[in-house]
A and B are shown apart, each in its own frame.
Chain A
Amino acid sequence: MSAAQKNEGLGALRLIMVLASISPLFLLWAVRGTCQDSNIPCQVPKQTCLVPNQFFIAMCTLFIVLPNLLLLWRRRTARKHQDTREIVVGKAEDHRDHLLVYLFAMLLPFYATNLTSWREFSATLLAVCFIVFLFWNCNLHYMNVLFAVFGYRIFTINPPDDGNPLSGRESVVLITRRTTIFPGDRITPYRLSNSVYWEVD
């Protein structure tokens, strides 16, 4: 298999990173729960839950904490192994607007769904699986609100066209606190996956 046909590699880690990126959705679900009040006339309102609250909140918490812990473990491993790559900038684009795509594709539609019947719940889970697969397949695993929360920006970096037949042609994503990146800059960030790199201060 040539480099042009290679697979992206670290597939499980990329899936974990996608799950980490949708952790705010699990937070919203944990707050909403799967319970609803029964409104039967002449009876004291009673709450019925599709999934017991404790179990549902525990599962949501697991999906919030575990992927993000694994992401931090990956970053720690990359630092420990000095798993760096020298990136040369041909063209850099700030892609903060991708967070809006993420917001509209992921958080808003799924937040609005009703999780109080098994049918709705199953359909929502299937839809989340489709979205997770698309994010994984399209290498959008860098999309994480937590990066923005901690002051990181997302840049797409295209390598320079130097005419060298051996130079890489694939663009990479850089997570960094820099505000600007100029053509010709050389940056040595840690590798999270083959297409996503993290510059630690």
Chain B
Amino acid sequence: MPLNFDLTTIDAIEFGVGRETANGAEFVSIPTDEDIKTALRDMAVQTWTAISKHEEVAFAPAEKYDSEENVVTATNGEYAGVLADLHRAEMLPIVANALNEPEHIFCYFARLSNRNQRRLTCVRRATQFKGILKSRLIQVITDALKIVEERRSVSTTLRHVA
């Protein structure tokens, strides 16, 4: 099944996390700068390129799957659940400091919208986040998350703008 989403006409990219709160699981949006948006778009393109090489199989909860497979289920089907809600949700709440409590985060996601009013939602299980607040001066003007390179390693982490 071809992807019914034109990756060349994206006009909005939203980054966010799923996290556990006292009221249960919730999904919130986090403002990001243009570098993170570019990285998210590239990740979406790479992921689609990778999984589209595999043959499409219908999702079955009893099956075991490899780390990279092309598994599909209908968004209005019984297995879509909260992922379908996340895909259709409008105007998710914005919580710029959601990464301050990384232990409560169970996934992160990107929602890409294009000019044809189509939406692509990408979800990934959370591994590690480093939310560090640095310059107070710049935070007056923006609270957008920014990519910074670690000095002692080559890994890239997400930080609040510095």
Contacts and interface: CB of A to CB of B under 8 A. Distances in A.
Interface string A137-153: 00000000000000000
B14 to A, nearest CB: 7
Interface stretch (A1-9, A35-43, A106-114, A120-128): A1-9
A51 interface: no
Give the size category of B's interface with A: 35 or more
A83 B33 CA distance: 7
A84 to B, nearest CB: 5
Contacts of B86: 166
Given A2-B21, A165-B85, A170 B93 contact: yes
Q: Which 10 pairs between the two chains have the least Cβ-Cβ distance? A: A3-B93, A168-B91, A166-B89, A2-B21, A81-B33, A88-B90, A12-B140, A167-B89, A194-B94, A159-B91
Interface of A: 1-4, 6, 9-10, 12-13, 16, 70, 73-74, 77-78, 80-88, 159-160, 162, 164-168, 170, 172, 186, 188, 191, 194
18 contacts: A1-B21, A1-B95, A3-B21, A10-B142, A82-B34, A83-B144, A85-B12, A85-B94, A86-B90, A86-B91, A164-B89, A166-B27, A166-B82, A166-B89, A168-B91, A170-B91, A191-B94, A194-B96
